A and B are shown apart, each in its own frame.
Chain A
Amino acid sequence: MLERAEIIRKEYLRHDKKFPHVWCPGCGNGIIMGALLRAVHSLGLDKDEVVLASGIGCSGRMPTYVDFNTIHTTHGRALTFSTGIKLAKPGLTVMTVMGDGDSTAIGGNHFIHAARRNLNLTAIIINNSTYGMTGGQYSPTTPYGSKSTTSVYGHVEHAFSIAELAATAGASFVARSTVYHATHMEEMLKKGIEKRGFSVIEIISNCHVQHGRRNKLGGAVEMISGFKQRSVTVEKATKMSDDELEGKITIGVLADVEKPVSTEEYQRIVKEAKHKAEIITKAKEKNGVKRYEE
């Protein structure tokens, strides 16, 4: 009998692409890819009915390796492409994987409007608090005071909180997890895929090559085990004060609401319009209104 890891390696990866993948040794993107594949495998979804879209960046390499229907799109516009796919074929399970700069800086407008529209999509946002691929410039999620290529003396701006932004913008399901909590992350991804409506899963990842090295946070091992010490669950965080929560990561489900999904609402409108048009044509024929051609 094949083990789960073997099934995932044999069936869900594209072996004709160059493996091992391009990500740095110890990068969290690989762990996230594994968790995503395990989530899809345990949900029993058909490989041909899953779409994975991505933008530009380190995370944008993910669709290259997985054997779903994949699309590698322009910078920040991954959500717009997946909106189009979902509207054209509502039966597909559409997932979008983006980085923090990709989703909140370049595609910030697309992100909040996708949350407002509440399409049945899943957005996976990998937050490594820097632009890793282009050389470590500061991103909207770089913490205050940390160093980067473009903020050598410390960053002067404050960071976005992606999960809270998504919840305020109207997403139906918002969750946060870290790379250390791989099983928790898998569960959150499962819930997000199953949820009807726009679901956002923010995953805190490590970039020890660009972010960790400049801020003396250590290597991959130190950064990933640091997430274990820094993270608190949502239940615990409600009892803690703001000073205690400084620098902590709240993990768990942050928002879970039921809302009408816009793709289904659109289908309903199409049906109603067709029904009305039929009534009007029938009434015209009864009254003897001649057609324009005659």
Chain B
Amino acid sequence: MVFTEVPINSKNEKLVINMVKETMPKKSGTRKKTAASKPKKKKLYTVIFFQKWCKSCGLCSALCPKKIIKLDDIGHPAINDMDSCSGCRFCEIHCPDFAITIKERHPGRRRTNGKH
């Protein structure tokens, strides 16, 4: 180690601290990097259609931003690709007949621990 022979005063205090900081080995920001690189867990939703009250107006299918709600031959809505739902609830608040409910889905952890 090399000691600098500079007397520490209130005037040059900051300067000395900076000099010492430069000589020290830099910490690698491991914690931040892992948080950024780790993919965010996608939230999953279930869309429940209450078909008894549905009048087949087609608003949910037309206003869905992901375009995943498809209409069957009598105009009732159905979803095949439920994982694509982003949970914006746009169909829920625009349904005039109170026929749509959106719930967050928590799929259970596998007991087999990766083995099938």
Contacts and interface: CB of A to CB of B under 8 A. Distances in A.
B82 interface: no
Contacts of B20: none
A26 B58 CA distance: 8
Contacts of B95: 30-31, 34
Nearest to B53: A20
Interface residues of A, number: 30
A37 B90 CA distance: 16
Interface in A48-62: none
B86 to A, nearest CB: 16
A19 B62 contact: no
Contacts, number: 68
A221 B83 CA distance: 25
A30 B93 contact: no
Contact of A30 (B58, B63, B98, B102): B98
Contact of A3 (B56, B59, B99, B102): B102
Given A31-B93, A182-B93, A225-B63, A220 B57 contact: yes
B59 A26 contact: yes
Contacts of A5: 92, 98, 100-102
A23 to B, nearest CB: 7
Given A25-B56, A35-B93, A225 B100 contact: no
Contacts of B98: 5, 8-9, 13, 30, 34
B97 A183 contact: no
A221 B62 contact: yes
Contacts of B99: 20
Interface in B65-116: 92-103
B96 A30 contact: yes
Q: Which of A19, A23, A180 has the most CB of B within 10 A?
A: A19
A27 interface: yes
A248 interface: no
Interface string A220-246: 110011000000000000000000000
Q: Which 3 A-B pairs have the closest CB atoms?
A: A30-B96, A26-B57, A25-B55
Interface of B: 52-59, 62-63, 92-103
Interface of A: 3, 5-6, 8-9, 13, 19-21, 23-31, 34-35, 38, 180, 182-183, 186, 219-221, 224-225
